[in-house]
Each structure stands twice: as C-alpha cells, then as structure tokens.
Chain A
Amino acid sequence: MFIVKYRKIFFTLSIVTIVLSFYAMTVKGFNAGIDFKGGSIIEVAYDTRPSVETLTTALNTAGFEGSRIQMAGDNDVMVKTRALSETDRQALTKALAVSGTQMEEKRFSSIGPTVGAELRTKAWYAIALVILGIVLFIAYAFRHVSEPISSWKYGMITSATLLHDIIVPAGVFVWMGKEVDTLFVVALLSIMGISVHDTIVVFDRIRENLKLKISNDFMVTVGKSLEQTFTRSINTSLTVMLVLGTLYFFGPASTKDFSLILWIGVGIGTYSSVFVASPLLVVFEKWQNKA
C-alpha cells in the first residue's frame, strides 16, 4: 500500500510538525491558567460596560496593579489577578463596581499557588502513567506475536505515536496563545486514549494477518492490514470529530477550548496510527534484518 511505500514522506512530515511544535513551545511558552500557577479570575456583567481605562484606573487605585482585563460577550468583563483572600475579593468587587453602572458578579475563582504547583506535578505524573500503562498493556496483549518483531516493539511504537499525538496539538494550542489549564491536560490524556484505540485496531489486524500468513513479506502484511482497516479508522474518527464539533459550536463556554484541542488531537491521532505507527513497524523489522 502506498502508505508503507512512501513512509519516508510521512515520517518527515511528522518530524517537521514535532519540531515546529517544540519551537512554538520554547518561543511562545506555555500560557498557564490559574489552576496551574495560582491566581484568580473574576467575571462580572455590567448593564453598560465601562471602558478599559476606567477599569484599569479603578483597579490600580484599589491596589490590583498588573491585573489583566479582558472583555467577554456583550457586557461582561473578566479580570485576572493574583490569588486573593476573601477580604481582597471584596475589595476587588468594590473596585469593579464603577459608579454609574449596575454590576453583577457571575463567577469568581481563586487558586493558591501551592494547589497550582501540586496540580502541575500531578499532570506530568498522569501523562507518564497513561503512557506506561498503555505500553505495558500492549506488550501484554500482543505477547503471542513475536515474529517478525517482538510485542515490546509494538508497545514502544505505540508510546512514540502517543507522544507525537499530544506534542502536536499542544504545540498548535501554544501557538494559538490558548490557555493551558486542567482541562487541557485532560484533553491530552483523552487524546492518548482515543489514539491508542486506532493504533490497536490496526495492530490487531496485523496480528491476525500474521497468524493467517497472508504474505511472507512483513511489509506487504502491514500494507494489506492498513488497507483493510482504513475505512473504519476514517469513519470512527469522523463520528468522534462530529460530536466534538457539536460540543464546540453548541456546548458550554467552559469546554470550547477543550473540544477544540480534542478535535485537533483526534485528527492527528488517526493520522499517526495509520501513517506513522504501522510504517514504523516495517522500519523496525528492516533494522532487525540488517543487524
């Protein structure tokens, strides 16, 4: 199949996107949300929204220098600032209640820096654990497959594609300047869960075709398996991307970014299990034969 034959093109494409993603991460840096770095966010609704200048002056005089003010919706204002105590919060709402306007507090969150740091560590642990868990499981599930390459290699390749599948959407997100918060990490973890689905389905077909000995050439077996699972890979991703699309367009504001990154991730994940993971098996087999 053409995918296996022209695998070098797809590998190059993936390597380039990964390099670009890392570039985005180092140049732009992660824009951590308050749940990761600590801080607070308040959203208020006005009947007539005061100007940014008025609000900035009001906040500065009340001692909230360096707050970020953001307009949202028609009459809403979001303010991001340091972590606040209850007394601070009251001072903040008082400052925002600019005279001559009606103001209503819609939402307030304040997260202490310790909680943020703890969540950051935990996020790394969770990503590492998911990858480890999946590698071990695949090595176990494919334990009867040892020819031509061992089940460990299936596991290793899966983990490599999983990394690929989270690095690229993360890079895109950072490039877009989106905020990285708890839901972002959850999205990355879910992408891994969905992407591994795709990879397993293709690998399972290879496992079956190896048993049936459809060809003596591993490359042909892989190509044939890809061909057989191709429609399914596309259709499943399509349904998942369709529901994510409705979540993005109709769903709550708080899960918009979440569905966007999942949407990108599911696309990339399907691409990588078809165009990267399986051709990599062929590469491993070729290396093994040379050695």
Chain B
Amino acid sequence: MWKTRIGAILLLIIGAGIGYFIYASEPKLHDGKTVALQATAEKFPFKLGLDLSGGVQLVYKADVTSVKPGEVKNAMDALRDVIERRINAFGVSEAIVQIEEKGGITGPVDERLLVELPGVTDVKKAVDMIGQTPKLEFMTERSKTELDAYNKAVEKLQADQAAGKELVIPAEILAGPYEPTELNGRFLERAVLEFDSTTREPIVSIVFNAQGADLFAKLTKDNVGKTIAIYLDRELGNPEPISAPVVREAIVGGKAQISGKFTAAEAKTLVGRLNSGALPVDKLELLSTQTISAPLGAQALMAGVWAGVWGLLIVAAFLILWYRLPGVVAVVALSIYVVLMLALFKFMGVTLTAAGIAGFILSMGMAVDANILIFERTKEELRKGHAVHDAIREGFARAWTSIRDSNISSIITAIILFWFGTSLIKGFALTFGLGVVISMFTAISISRTLLFALPFNGHGAVVRTLFGSGFFKLK
C-alpha cells in the first residue's frame, strides 16, 4: 500500500515538474517575467509549421533527365547544398531545404525540392534567388599594393569594432582580396572525388573543357605559389570561397587536383559545389507555392491553443461529473498526458501545424477512452459485489484486451496517414500516433497507481457513491 502511495506521489511530482518545465519554457505564459530554470527550458521551443508561423513554402521539380541514373542522388544533394547556402546568405533562420522523391508506387519517380522559409513573405525575392543558375568563379590574388590596402582596411575595421566605433565598410573590403578572371563554371567539365593512391587521402579532381584548359593554364602559369580562390554564388551573398588552393606549378591539359586535409565528407561537399557550378540539374520547375502571412499564422495558433484549453476543460468536467472519484483520477492522468505530449513535441522537435494541433486535441478525447472502458468494467465488478480494490483490479485486467486491440488499429491508421502525408498531414499523423501510444501509458499505468493509492476500499455507502457514476443516481 505505502509503496503504491509513494509511487503515486512520485508520478504527481514528475507530472508537475514537466508541467513547470513547459510553463518556464514559454515566456508568454508568465508575462515575460523571468522564472527559475527559464534559460534551460527555453532551449526547447515549440517548432511551428509555416501555417502557424507565417512564411513561404515552395515545391520545385528538378529536371534530372540528362543526369545519369546512378548520379541523381549526388546531383540532388549538390543542388540542395547550393540552395541552402543561398538561403543562409539571405538570412533566414530555421529554413528547411529537403529533397523529396515522389511517386514510385503511384507513378514515375519525381525528384522534388521542398523549400520552407519561415517568416519570409516576399515570394518574389525568394523565387528569384532560388531559381538562379549557380555561378562558380575562379579568382586570383590582387596585386601586392591592393592586397596591402585590403589587409590594412581589415585591421582598421577590426580595431574600430573593438573600440566600439560606428562601422563603415570601405570599398577595399567589399571588393575582397581576390580579383575576377575569365575562368568560370561554364568551362568546368566535371569534378570528381578520388583517393590518393599512396596516402589514401581524399582529393578532388577537376577537369576543364578545351577552352577552359587554355584559360586555366594561363592562370596557373601567372600565379605559381599564389592562391586561386573558387567562389560559388558570390554575388548572392556568399563572401567565403568554397576552396582556395595554392598553385604549385603551371598546369596544362586542363586536369587539376585539389588536395589538402579533407575528410571524405568535406571533399564530397566540395565536389558537389564545384559540379553545381556546372549545373547538375537542368531546370527547376516551380510546382507549388504557399504563403501565409505572420498575423494569420499567429491567429490560427491562438485559436488552436484556446480550442485545446476548452476541450480539456469540457472533457474534465464531464469525467468528474459522470465518474466522480475515478473521474478525478482520469482528469489527473489526462493532465499528465497533456504535459507529457507537449514536452515530447519540444524534445523531439515535432513541427506543429494546425492539423497537428487538431490531431492532438482529438487525441485528448480518445485518451480518456481507455479510462472509460476501465471504469465501466470496474462498475460491473462492483455490482457483482466485489470490494473496490478487487473490482478495480478486475476492471483493468478485463478492459486490457479491448484497449490493446483498438489502439493497435489506431496505430495502423496513423502509420498509413504518415505515409500519405504531405508535410502538413505528417504533423497530424505524428501527433495522433504519438498520442495513442502515450495515452495508453497514462490512462493505464498512471490511473491505476493513483486509484490504488487512494484510501478507499470495502463496501461502504460513501465508497459506493464515490465510485458510482451518472449525474443524478447516487450509486
């Protein structure tokens, strides 16, 4: 008995703890005042889908007809990388760039690129930026005097920054330490990842076409011992070169190797970036656009939250009025279910959408199903004349097969929904499926522990009334 009571108290403390964590993590809940543990808790914000945060979603179809079948994945990875770099340069936080392979079962395979830009509503700018052909440039070091001026400007800027002065970026810095050449991505035939035959270190080989070979030969001849910087999408705001190898000797014939302390993954990224300058994918076709303004999203979010609060209150009122004491226990279990789910959304980084919130609210209604089954069963056993604890024990045991089988079928549905899902629907399937699993735990284990911890047993009239049900009947 005391063991159960300690267990019950522990469960309540853990539930309250998780509840406090959710409270601390959302500044809106405590009017922006600082509360204990806030800093840690705020590291786990809710992740909102575009329909709640506002933003742009773009779906592109990549034309990969001229890419060799085995190379498609690499080409798509390179494309994703290029677009991700541009979006980062655009200053969008938490953007999503995803490759989606559509079809297969339902038709021919389509390579798609899904781009989500939270907070951005300027579709035109986003579309222009993404749709541009990647631009690869080979640049050489500036002359000694220009380079000195550049370095001096950088030093001055750093000193100004340290002194806290207002920063004026001089023209030297904007121009950068390298100067443009005629050589660019159009002259590059391909880049491949290779491994050095003796050291086994990864190296990147690049091959130029005939015209590019001549340009490259001239460039290397003039710059022995100096750096050639390779830039990708410099004008779209990527100020760092993707690679800056030092020329060891003049290279004729159009074949060069970049070696260095690469990891295989780094080398692969570089290969992808170099090749993207040579356009791995022929064309990006915009399939669908969705924009939602931030105020509209915020409005939907608030509506979802309020619907959840009202839903919880109404279900709680019904449970307590109808099932009395066990109803109170079910409400406690349901509350623990709610905070547990919210915490899971935070920790797992589940993207919440309007559909996802709907799934969660629906799952609150279904979470009490297990409790209702158990209580109805317990009541039958009480009528047979069992004492309260025996009746509860029987009630749980006999309701279990129903709960198990019905929940398995719900999980089957959730899995199929997840597969069916576009990103918005996946949110619904995930919250719904997660809800089924978690509610099985809270409705069974938590209510069981709490019920046994209560100091009621036997056959007395008070106990009968407390464990009875209905709005008007006493028993």
A residues with CB within 8 A of B: 35, 40, 43, 83-86, 89-90, 104-112, 114-115, 118-119, 121-123, 125-126, 129-130, 133-134, 137-138, 141, 182-183, 185-186, 189-190, 192-194, 196-197, 200-201, 204-205, 207-208, 228-229, 231-232, 235-236, 238-247, 249-255, 258-259, 262
Contact = CB atoms under 8 A, between A and B. Distances in A.
A239 B289 contact: no
Given A182-B425, A196-B413, 4 more contacts: A109-B288, A126-B419, A134-B413, A243-B311
Given A200-B409, A251-B358, A255-B358, A238 B416 contact: no
Interface string B355-369: 101110110111011
Contacts of B51: 254
A166 to B, nearest CB: 12
A117 B103 CA distance: 11
B406 A196 contact: yes
A112 B288 contact: yes
A250 B102 CA distance: 36
Contact of B366 (A112, A194, A258): A194
A186 B428 CA distance: 9
Contacts of B401: 204, 207-208
A86 B124 contact: yes
Nearest to A251: B307
Mostly, the B contact residues are helix
Given A204-B402, A240-B365, A254-B51, A196 B287 contact: no
B127 interface: yes
Contacts of B107: 118, 121
A110 to B, nearest CB: 5
B300 interface: yes
Contacts of B368: 236, 239
Contacts of A243: 311, 314-315, 361-362, 364-365
A197 B362 contact: no
Contact of B354 (A118, A123, A129, A255): A255
A108 B410 CA distance: 34
A253 B364 contact: no
Contacts, number: 228
B264 interface: no
B420 A185 contact: yes
A114 B380 CA distance: 56
Contacts of B413: 130, 133-134, 189-190, 192-193, 196
Contacts of B408: 137, 141
Interface in B81-127: 102-103, 105-107, 110, 121, 123-124, 127
Mostly, the A contact residues are helix
Nearest to A121: B106
Contact of A186 (B355, B357, B365, B402): B355
A175 B287 CA distance: 31
B303 interface: yes
B307 A247 contact: yes
Nearest to A124: B106
Nearest to A134: B409
A250 B306 contact: yes
A126 B420 contact: yes
14 contacts: A126-B417, A126-B420, A134-B413, A137-B408, A190-B432, A193-B432, A204-B405, A235-B376, A238-B318, A239-B318, A239-B369, A246-B361, A251-B303, A251-B361
Given A85-B286, A183-B355, A208-B398, A134 B311 contact: no
Given A114-B287, A118-B107, A182-B425, A246 B307 contact: yes
Given A122-B106, A243-B314, A107 B292 contact: yes
B409 A197 contact: yes
A13 to B, nearest CB: 25
Contacts of A229: 376
B414 interface: yes
Contacts of A186: 355, 417, 420, 425, 428
Given A137-B409, A193-B409, A252-B304, A129 B311 contact: no
Contacts of A244: 361-362, 365
A109 B289 contact: yes
B291 interface: yes
Given A189-B413, A194-B366, A252-B304, A239 B432 contact: no
Interface in B173-230: none
Nearest to A201: B402
A144 to B, nearest CB: 11
Interface string B288-315: 1111110110011101101110110011
